[in-house]
Each structure stands twice: as C-alpha cells, then as structure tokens.
Structure 1
Amino acid sequence: MTFDPQSLGQSNSDLAAVLQELRKRAGLSGVQLARRVNMSQSKISKIETGKVTPSLVDVELILRVLRTPSELVAHVTALARIANTEWQDARALRRKGLDKKQIELASLERNSTTFRYFLPTMITGLLATPDYIRASLAPFPGDHTKAIAKKLERQAVLYDSAKRFTFILTEQACLWPLVREQAMAMQLDRLASVSRLPNVRLGVIPMAGHMPWAPLNVFTVYDAALATVEVSTGALVFRDPRDIQEYLDEFRTFEGYSLWGDEARAKLGAWANRFRSISRDL
C-alpha cells in the first residue's frame, strides 16, 4: 500500500472511522472494547472521533481484540503509520517564510526537556555563529533577516538549566567549509565553548577507526515523544514510540563512536587551527 507524501499526518480521520466501524461490526460498545484492551473509555472515544492519534501498538491491540481479518489488518496498520507520520515540504515552508519555521521550532523547544541532535552533514542553528547561519540560508532567495534573527534568538534555550542537550557531529559536519577559513575557525571555537555548558554534551565523530554503522540522515529526538528526520526536500516527523525508539537506539550507537569532553574540544581546537593556518597562508 503506497501513499503520497502529502497524505502523511492527514489520515487520522480515516483511521478513526475504520476503527469505529470495526468495533461496531464486532458488536462491542466503546466501554466493552476499552475494558478488553485495558484503555479508558475516554481514550477509545477520542481515538474514534479523531481527537487522539493512537500509536501502532494501540491499533494492533485493538485489531487483535476485534479479531480483524488479516487483509484489513494490513490496511489499518498502514493508516496508523501514516497518521503517526507528518511530512513537512521544504518548498512550502520557504513560501510561508523561513522565520515561521523558526517560530515552530522555538515552540517545540519550549515544550521539551531532553534533546538529542545527530548532525552528519552540517552544524545546526542552535550551535551556529551568525556568519554560518547567513551562509546556510544564502542559497534560498529572499530576505532572511527575520529568519536569522529568530535562529539567533532560539540559541537562548541552551542556557536553560532545566533542559538537557546532546549534540553529535561528524568530522564532515564540523569541517564542511560553508564559510571562509577564519569564520570556520570561529565556528569551531563556538562548538568548543558551548560544550562547556553544564547542561550540554557535545560529541564529535572523527573519520578514523572502524565504524560498522553508517549514518543516513540528520535527525533530532525531542524527549522520547517525537523525532524529526531531515532530507533535502523536507522533513519527516515521527510520533509512534517504536519509530522514536529506533532513532534513540541509533543515537546511542553513534554516542559510542564519539569523542566527548576534553577529547572533543582538543579535536575541535586542532580543526580550528587548521582553518586558521589555511587563512594565514592565503
């Protein structure tokens, strides 16, 4: 069963209607179903009216109790996965204004406590210098003054002691020359500085040794409730616990490849000095 990306996150009403119809076909009331699946009747009601999106585990349990035919199980499970996944189109976001995305991210950061960022390609906005932020937005047409200001405003969240941040950057992310050599050196200095904040862990993965697991995408996990995965044309937002757990497991793998603390800062310092040396020789 295939779906257009634009349908992601939009099938909750379809899923609600199907689950309600299957319950009625089984001859069960909402109260009876709730008792059999060990959920509250209120939750069942909210699922069937589309007010709550059930996880895949919830849906599989309901389908099992309702003795749903296998051909319908595949269809309903697919609906559940789509309902728990959102597609954010990059072109649509740019049309609305890149500053609007920054407002959305700031809201997500206000309402989360634990953050895990895996950065295999470039440095994220929370860690970026103004020069780096400007360069990251330069390929896109338009005036980015508001977006740059919003990105810089968001960095204040790093100093909220109630929140915990873990950043993992690959050597490629640290060394990709998005700005000139002196500006790259300053950017790496900022990474080292941020790594000293008491609520921030910052690891770097050097291109050395044996690493049998290869990264595919930039991803961020907010608490254990939501994961975002960035691709060139947009971002996928996952809310199902099993999807989120897979990203948490992958993150832990990359933590094991990373240098931390003084070792990470020593590596960042060496890379910064390399850029400064190139700058002096020009």
Structure 2
Amino acid sequence: MTFEPEQLGRSKADLAETLRDLRKRAGLSGDRLARRCAMSQSKISKIETGKTTPTLVDVERILRALEASPQLITEVTALARIANTAWQDARALRRKGLEKKQAELADLERTSTEFRFFLLSMITGLLSTPEYARASLDHIPGDHSKAIAKKIARQAVLYDETKRFTFLLTEQAARWPTLPAPAMAVQIDRLASLSHLRNVRIGVLPLAGRMPGCPLNTFTVYDDRIATVEASNGALVFRDARDVSAYLEEFAAYENHARFGDEARELLAEWASAFRR
C-alpha cells in the first residue's frame, strides 16, 4: 500500500464517518452493533466520533457484524490501515524545533519497557557521543544546542534496569565516517562500553557473510505497540498490531544473524583500531 502524507491527516475522521454511516445504513443502533461484535457500546461510540482509532482487527469485527461485502471490507480496512499510520514530516519538525522532537522521544521512552532499534546507516542518539550527536545535525541550519543537550540527557534511560534495549547496528552504521577518525574511534569505543550494561544488548551485523533480506530503513519498535520507520524526509509511525508485528519479525531475522557480547566487542575494537591508524 502507498501512503500519501496528506491522506494520513484526514483518514481517522474518514474512517469514523464511514463506520458510522455503515451502521446506520444497516439499521443498527450502537448498542446492538456492540453486542454483535463483542465490544462495549462506549467503544463503538468513541470509534464513530473519532475519539478512538480502531485497529484493523476492530474494523474487521465491525464489518463482519454489519455483513459488509468483500469489496467494502477491502476498502474500509485499507482506510483503517492508513488511520493507524502517522507521518512525521522532517521539515515540519524542524520548524517546531528539534528540541520538541527530543521531548517527544523522551516521553515515548518513559512509557515503554522494551526497545528494539535496527540501525542501518547511523548510530542512534541514545548511543552517541556528544560530538557524534552534534555532527548528526550539522546538515540542518540553526542553533541546535538545546536539542543536542536533550538528546544526551535522554541517554539516562539506558541505566534504568526496568527497561530492556536491543540495538542492531550494521557495519555501515558503526563505521560511517560522520566524525574525524579519532572521534569515530571514541564513538565506537562507547558502543563497546555500553554493551556491558545488563539491560542493553548491542549486536553488530558485519558485511562479511550472508544476511536475510535487504533492509531498506532504520526502524525502532517500542514494546509491541509502535514501530517508527525513518526516511530521509520524515518518519512513518505505525500503531496497528499487524504492521508492528511485521517489523518485529524483520528485527528478529536480523537479530538471529547479529554478533553479540565478546564477539561484537571484538569487531567493534577492530573497527575502532582502523580509525586510529
């Protein structure tokens, strides 16, 4: 399915209106529909007024209860999938201020327990040195000192042992020369150091050897409820369980091929040494 960013803004209202109209055309009250699909009447009301965004499973249950045609089910579930997806435009985020994005990430980290990061081309902020964090924003005009400070402050979450982190870094992500060689060596040393934390697993995916599939994007999965997928001009945020599950499966496939523990640290030491030559 192709997502148009402008669709993502209006789809929730469209979905609510569509489901409400279908119920009325079927001649059912909200209470009767709720009983048919084993939901509460208040949930049906919130869905139809746009206060709650239903999952794909919710929508399918409602459509089956309404005895919708296969074609209608296809059309409405497509709308539901768009409604469960948000587009975060990079230019809009910059206009709001990058420090606000850092605050949003900190809130997401505060409310999540298990984190899975697949890092295709760069090191994420939670693992970066201040120099790397600064360099990662060099291409964006303006003063980003507040955003960088908040990015570094977010790293405190790594020391909360009630939370679990798994980071998978491709060799490209670890070795891409974002900084001068000596500073890159320090950054890679930091990865090795953080890998000793009891609640943090850092896996590396060296270029040598075969890998499953072909990764296209950096992505993060928060618990099993949200997946964020990065693009050069923004990010997609998926909340539907099926979409999140797809990214969990992709992550697991790469995780099975990653090097962890001493094996990962040996590779990191080798890459850091290469920058020190």
**Normalising TM by the smaller chain, what interval?**
over 0.9
2:136 partner letter: S
Instruction: Tell which deviates more after alignment, 144-153 or 33-42.
Output: 33-42
Instruction: Tell which deviates more after alignment, 71-80 or 136-145.
Output: 71-80
Q: CA deviation at 1:228?
A: 0.2
Q: Secondary structure at the match of 1:115?
A: strand
- Quick check: 1:7 aligned with 2:18? no
Match of 1:257? 257
Q: Secondary structure at the match of 1:167?
A: strand
Match of 2:115? 115
Q: 1:114–1:163: 8 Å Cα contact kept in structure 2? A: yes
Q: 1:229–1:236: 8 Å Cα contact kept in structure 2? A: yes
Match of 2:136? 136
Match of 1:280? none
What residue ranges of structure 1 are gaps of 5+ in the alignment? 278-282
CA offset digits 1:218-260 (Å, max 9, x no partner): 0000011100000000000000000000000000000011000
Identity %: 67
Runs of 4+ in 1 over 2 A off after TM superposition: 1-4, 69-75
Residues of 2 paired with 1:38 and 1:200: CA distance? 41
Q: 2:212–2:254: 8 Å Cα contact kept in structure 1? A: no
CA-atom RMSD in angstroms: 1.3
Q: 1:9–1:82: 8 Å Cα contact kept in structure 2? A: no
1:230 partner letter: E
Residues of 1 paired with 2:34 and 2:91: CA distance? 42
Q: CA deviation at 1:9?
A: 4.5
Q: CA deviation at 1:68?
A: 1.6
Superposed, 1:15-34 pairs within 5 Å as: 15-34=15-34
CA offset digits 1:172-206 (Å, max 9, x no partner): 00010000111000000000011111110110001
Superposed, 1:157-168 pairs within 5 Å as: 157-168=157-168
Q: CA deviation at 1:20?
A: 1.1
- Quick check: 1:181 aligned with 2:193? no
Q: Secondary structure at the match of 1:8?
A: helix
Match of 1:79? 79
Q: Secondary structure at the match of 2:106?
A: helix
Q: Secondary structure at the match of 2:201?
A: strand
Match of 2:145? 145
Superposed, 1:214-233 pairs within 5 Å as: 214-233=214-233
Q: CA deviation at 1:209?
A: 1.3
Residues of 1 paired with 2:110 and 2:54: CA distance? 24
TM-score by length of 1: 0.95
Instruction: Tell which deviates more after alignment, 96-105 or 230-239.
Output: 96-105
1:174 partner letter: A
Residues of 2 paired with 1:174 and 1:239: CA distance? 29
Match of 2:64? 64
